Amino acid sequence: MAEAIPPALERLIKNLMRFPGIGEKSATRMALQILRWPSSVAKELGASIMELHDKIGICSRCFTFSQEDPCSICQAAGRDQDVICVVEEPGDVVAIEKTGSYRGLYHVLQGVLSPREGIGPEELKIKELINRIKSEPAKEVIIATSSTAAGEATASYLIDALKDTGVKVTRIACGIPMGTDLKYADQMTLKRALESRRSL
């Protein structure tokens, strides 16, 4: 980086470049923008980043991000306790919650199977899912992994792994275009995919 850039600014630019799709040019523009903000606003941004890891943990029941344990969804009265929707990441929980049409619980796998990246069943919360089904009054498990190759491979693995539990297993419908990451599907498509899930 150019010598004219003060070290504090350079540090921020380098950190902003950690975001996917943010190169040096965009990061520089963002950093200069922050520099123009009133000091109190910039400090608020910094403080909110600092607070993130201290305040947010993982729900020990469904493994989504949460400020409490169990999370607010697991604790909510009036949610169907016998339906578990299995998703890849906490972002998928947010996407499904936004549709407003799902009233069951979730189980976040914390990723998808990816032999190339060394992610096998042990690295995901699959064992925990099977334990939940055994100890909770689960009647239906909805597999809502993405329609990407890795998402489909994970779904197949789960269908097989859940076979002996006796629970009803459904897969969200194919309304979601092939190769789409669940959290990028629009709300209407996601709502319809959930409603027209099929039994396996």
Instruction: Check binding of 93 to Zn ion (CB under 5 A).
Output: no
Q: Please, which residue, 59 or 176, has the CB nearer to Zn ion? A: 59
Q: Show the site string, 36-65: x = touches Zn ion by CB under 5 A, - = not.
A: -----------------------x-xx---
Q: How far is the CB of 138 from Zn ion (least distance, A)?
A: 14
Q: Of 45, 25, 21, 50, whose CA–CA distance to 34 is shortest?
A: 45
The closest of 108, 64, 57 to 85, measured between CA atoms, is 108
Q: Which residues contact 34 (CB under 8 A, 6 or more apart)?
A: 12, 42, 45
Q: Measured from the CB of residue 95, what is the shortest distance to Zn ion in angstroms?
A: 16
- Cis amide leading into 177 (omega within 30): no
Q: Which residue of 12, 74, 108, 194 would you call a contact of Zn ion, by CB under 5 A?
A: 74
180 exposed, middle or buried (CB, 10 Å; 0-12, 13-18, 19+)? middle
Q: Which two tokens stand for residue 14?
A: 């380098």
Judged by CB under 5 A, the stretch of 72-80, 81-89, 95-103, 162-170 that binds Zn ion is 72-80
Query: Cβ 73 to Zn ion, closest distance in Å?
Result: 5
Which residues in this chain contact Zn ion in the complex, by CB under 5 A? 59, 61-62, 70-71, 74
